[in-house]
């Protein structure tokens, strides 16, 4: 008999819905990946580096040139100086980075505060370290942090808080005031942070990202995680990074070297080249995705779904209360996929305790205009 270490974990909803989309021929607005390619110059650079023989192990901490580009980006965008050698670690994807950060500092019996709805990889990573997640619900509707509920959740066993901004699935943003409030509440406690900022460049309407990297008091105890895959439209490359103070980076690297050791070398080479030659890509990204958000939302105005335009990420939540209030969101997602040809993600899967009356599904708009128009036509016909 197998004694599972994750007895309550099955196949993720993202895999389930993507498989259903393939089986039914539905438009896949469920899993968060673009249906278009990354920049041609970036793709060409991979081929050059493969042909040039850059196909062996990179350093465990990541290609030096790429780590330097990350440090330069952080200095330019957030005004923070980080040491590329001691504080930046390249990882095979942000999920591996989150896992290694948690394994590095969480011990059996430790508690980790997560905000619901929360991304599905957090809790299994905590459980595998012997810790326990304490779920603090975000405010219904705004998905903002209720700091009184957070304060009430703190205990002597609290060892970590996991932040996610821009937030998946809601797109909500954490403000500088939120970070200041968090700093005040944990300043006298032995608590670490994981700040999941993989959508850091996907923020709209002229708003600036409030990064933990720009908050010296919080960064001193933080692992800040981001994703090249999200930023450069190449999610299948599974390449991300962690920025943390030297002592925390050293602990993270102890774990990372035995999980995957290093990232894929030619991909790192190509990213380093592209970041150096095209820094404007990051600056143009908010406008690029805001145009897709606005197109999609404009098209959905003729539907019976209700929504508020997302302030960040490439996900749009829509409320289906006026269409099928009799269905919970899992059944609604299946109904939309099978009967109307649009695959989505039910929001309840991101909660420990779903809100019974909530009627929300998540749609990904990181798609070609043709895809968005086809999806909107199907949704408006319901």
> For position 110, what pLDDT does the model report?
98
Check: CB of residue 154 under 8 Å from CB of residue 189.
yes
Q: What would the mean pLDDT of 10-18 be, rounded to a whole number?
A: 88
**Band (133; pLDDT cuts 50, 70, 90):** very high
For 257, the 3-state DSSP assignment is: helix
Check: CB of residue 106 under 8 Å from CB of residue 129.
yes
How far, in Å, CA of 90 to CA of 118, rounded? 24
Give 230-242 pLDDT, tens digit per residue. Answer: 999 999 999 999 9
Q: How far is CA 271 from CA 119, 203, 224, 279, in A?
A: 26, 22, 19, 11
User: What is the end-to-end Cα distance of the chain in Å, rounded?
Assistant: 48
10, pLDDT greater than 90 = no
> For position 14, what pLDDT does the model report?
87
Give 347-362 pLDDT, tens digit per residue. Answer: 999 999 999 999 999 9
377, pLDDT greater than 90 = yes
Q: What would the mean pLDDT of 42-63 be, rounded to a whole number?
A: 98
367, pLDDT greater than 90 = yes
pTM: 0.96
**Band (12; pLDDT cuts 50, 70, 90):** confident
Q: What would the mean pLDDT of 249-259 be, rounded to a whole number?
A: 98
**Band (54; pLDDT cuts 50, 70, 90):** very high
Quote the tokens at residue 196: 């999941």
11, pLDDT greater than 90 = no
Q: What would the mean pLDDT of 159-184 be, rounded to a whole number?
A: 98
Percent of the chain clearing pLDDT 90 (strictly above): 97
172, pLDDT greater than 90 = yes
1, pLDDT greater than 90 = no
> For position 229, what pLDDT does the model report?
97
Burial of 327 per CB tally in 10 Å (0-12, 13-18, 19+): middle
Give 74-98 pLDDT, tens digit per residue. Answer: 999 999 999 999 999 999 999 999 9
182, pLDDT greater than 90 = yes
- Name the average pLDDT for the chain: 97
Backbone region of residue 2 per phi and psi (left: phi > 0; alpha: psi in -120 to 50; beta: other values): beta
């Amino acid at each position: 008999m197998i004694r599972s270490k994750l007895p309550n974990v099955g196949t993720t909803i993202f895999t389930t819905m993507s498989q259903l989309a393939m089986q039914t021929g539905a438009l896949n607005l469920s899993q968060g990946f673009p249906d278009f390619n990354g920049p041609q110059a970036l793709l060409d650079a991979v081929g050059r580096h493969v042909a040039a023989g850059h196909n062996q192990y990179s350093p465990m901490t990541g290609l030096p040139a790429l780590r330097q580009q990350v440090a330069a980006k952080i200095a330019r965008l957030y005004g923070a100086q980080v040491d590329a050698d001691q504080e930046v670690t390249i990882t095979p994807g942000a999920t591996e980075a989150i896992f290694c950060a948690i394994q590095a500092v969480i011990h059996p019996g430790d508690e980790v505060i997560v905000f619901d709805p929360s991304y599905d990889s957090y809790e299994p990573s905590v459980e595998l370290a012997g810790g326990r997640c304490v779920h603090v619900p975000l405010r219904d509707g705004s998905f903002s942090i209720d700091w009184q509920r957070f304060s009430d959740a703190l205990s002597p066993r609290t060892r970590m808080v996991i932040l996610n901004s821009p937030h998946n699935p809601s797109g909500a943003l954490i403000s500088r005031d939120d970070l200041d409030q968090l700093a005040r509440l944990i300043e006298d406690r032995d608590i670490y942070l994981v700040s999941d900022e993989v959508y850091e460049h996907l923020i709209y309407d002229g708003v600036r990202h409030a990064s933990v990297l720009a908050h010296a008091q919080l960064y001193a105890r933080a692992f800040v995680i981001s994703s090249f895959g999200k930023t450069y439209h190449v999610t299948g490359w599974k390449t991300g990074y962690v920025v943390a103070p030297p002592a925390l980076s050293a602990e993270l690297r102890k774990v990372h070297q035995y999980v995957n050791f290093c990232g894929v070398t030619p991909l790192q080479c190509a990213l380093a080249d592209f970041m150096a030659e095209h820094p404007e890509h990051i600056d143009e990204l908010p406008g690029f995705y805001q145009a897709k958000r606005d197109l999609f939302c404009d098209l959905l105005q003729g539907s019976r779904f209700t929504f508020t335009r997302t302030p960040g990420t490439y996900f749009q939540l829509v409320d289906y209360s006026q269409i099928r209030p009799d269905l919970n969101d899992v059944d609604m997602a299946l109904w939309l996929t099978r009967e109307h040809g649009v695959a989505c993600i039910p929001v309840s899967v991101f909660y420990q305790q779903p809100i019974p009356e909530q009627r929300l599904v998540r749609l990904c708009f990181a798609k070609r205009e043709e895809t968005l128009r086809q999806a909107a036509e199907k949704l408006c016909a319901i």
